[in-house]
Structure 1
Amino acid sequence: MKHAFAVTQLSILIAVLAALASYTGIYSEGGPGPHSIESVRGETVIIYGKGLYRHMSKEVAPQGIAQDYVTLYLAIPLLFIALIWARKGSLKGRYFLSGILGYFLVTYLFYLVMGMYNALFLVYVALLSMSFFAFALTMLSFEPRELPERFSEETPVKSTGGFLIFQCIAISLMWLGVVIPPLISGEIIPPQVEHYTTLIVQGLDLALLLPLGIIAGVLFINKNPFGYLLTPVYYVFLSLLMIALTAKIIIMGSEGQNTMPAILIIPSFGIIAMICTLYIFNSIREVKTTG
């Protein structure tokens, strides 16, 4: 793998700092406890009031803790497995490592721009920076023009590419269902904004992540070399992300929040994404290089 030393060092640092950040998010204590505030828009918002996320809303803070559990106990071990796999010269390992690094990149992008300022601000900055460069270097190790021949003729490009497009469109419609009704009614600002500046998750999903998934799916169906680059990576990232989202939904339900229909849709999408990932990986003709 090209840039193996740099990616290895960055991945180890990512694991260390992500362990620190997620452990602190899960187990930190202190704070005044739940209390209400009035936002600049005049809305009453219940604040979580405990631990690292004490200034986050009561609805959002538990979601961060749920994702911290997934990061600490699943994503970090998977990062080491992916790194070892990739360093052995495995093409599948590089795909897997790229997808896992993509998870860390997106996770700490959201933590940095959405999380209320806390003591780990510089840790989030470092994690986002290192995840970006490790992800970029790993992606640059691929030769897109050579990738189509590394896949068997039986690769399910239409079904896996089609599901990726469908899933991205479905989530786009779900987010538009949050944004558009207040615009039509004249209220403008959805209640989900709470005391935050804007809808960060919906905005970045609609602007970047969901269009990328649609483009990847279209390219894969058309057997474009960049489809063979993007789609396997996206599916690894998507599988891990859906596990994190499922954990968030479970903890939201335990807090008494209405989780329908997400409790049915998100786990289903996650299971299908993992099945698609397995089908794609089974179609890859392994070509090892020295790492």
Structure 2
Amino acid sequence: MKTSPALKWLIPVIFVLTFIAALAGVWPAEGTPYPLTTFRGENVTINARGLYHWDTVSSVAQMQANDLVTLVLGLPLLAVSFWLTLRGSLRGRILLAGTLGFILYTYITMVFGAQYNALFLVYVALFSLSLFTFVLVMMSFDLDGLPAHFSNQLPRGWIVGLLFFAAAFLSLAWLGRIAATFAPGTVPALENTTSMFIQAM
């Protein structure tokens, strides 16, 4: 499995941009949240502070929690997995793919879900770069030789079961939220967004 030379500049750029975006998200700022009734008639509270000024208090809590996870876990994992990948480690390459998948998912949600702010172009760059880099890493795996690196004792059944359980749980959770909007006159819980972009993803 060869490491694409492009990774040697893509990963550092992604690391720096992710650090900037996540740090800006959790950076403390002053302001007073205020209530707002959306055009759909839903009552929300606007954060009115920092980078996420125009987002609701509820959505900001989720975004800042994600920013903190990115700073504490995501970026260290990106650095370690990239270092292991450069040393030829298969585990490092798998971890790198997973970490890039996390960053990709995170900044897809920021591009389409966060209210427009000063880092919009950074979100777009991270979405694009992490997608391209994720594809490069996935294409670098030798699929024919990959099974030989895993033990026959690997609990495949448990792994498959866990994935199906997670899929079923999320499907029921999201469908329950969507089905509640079918009744006439029901206000969908969209806060100040325009659609259920998380559920769509």
TM-score bucket (shorter structure): over 0.9
Match for 1:2: what amino acid? K
Structure richer in helix, relative to its length:
1
Trace 1:198-209 onto structure 2 (pairs within 5 A): 198-204=195-201
Q: In the TM superposition, what is the alpha-carbon distance from 1:162 to its structure 2 partner?
A: 1.2
Q: In the TM superposition, what is the alpha-carbon distance from 1:28 to its structure 2 partner?
A: 4.6
Trace 1:172-251 onto structure 2 (pairs within 5 A): 172-183=171-182, 185-187=183-185, 189-191=187-189, 193-204=190-201
Aligned residue in 2 for 1:46: 45
CA–CA distance in structure 2, aligned partners of residues 50 and 157 of structure 1:
47
Q: TM (normalized to structure 1)?
A: 0.66
CA–CA distance in structure 1, aligned partners of residues 185 and 174 of structure 2:
17
Q: Note the alpha carbon deviations across 1:193-234, whole angstroms, 9 max, x for none.
A: 012101111121xxxxxxxxxxxxxxxxxxxxxxxxxxxxxx
Q: In the TM superposition, what is the alpha-carbon distance from 1:4 to its structure 2 partner?
A: 3.3
Q: Note the alpha carbon deviations across 1:33-82, whole angstroms, 9 max, x for none.
A: 20122211122221011100010011111111111111112210110000
Q: Is 1:125 aligned to 2:124, yes or no?
A: yes
Q: Note the alpha carbon deviations across 1:225-257, whole angstroms, 9 max, x for none.
A: xxxxxxxxxxxxxxxxxxxxxxxxxxxxxxxxx
Match for 2:108: what amino acid? L
How large is the Cα RMSD of the aligned pairs? Answer: 1.4
Q: TM (normalized to structure 2)?
A: 0.94
Q: Is the Cα contact below 8 Å between 2:35 and 2:44 reproduced in 1? A: yes
Q: In the TM superposition, what is the alpha-carbon distance from 1:188 to its structure 2 partner?
A: 5.1
Match for 1:62: what amino acid? A
Q: Is the Cα contact below 8 Å between 1:4 and 1:87 reproduced in 2? A: no
The answer for unaligned runs of 5 or more in structure 1 is 205-291
CA–CA distance in structure 2, aligned partners of residues 133 and 188 of structure 1:
40
Trace 1:139-154 onto structure 2 (pairs within 5 A): 139-154=138-153
Aligned length: 201
Aligned residue in 2 for 1:20: 20
CA–CA distance in structure 1, aligned partners of residues 74 and 84 of structure 2:
15
How many percent of aligned residue pairs carry the same amino acid? 38
Q: Note the alpha carbon deviations across 1:76-119, whole angstroms, 9 max, x for none.
A: 01100000111111111111110001000000000110000000
The answer for unaligned runs of 5 or more in structure 2 is none
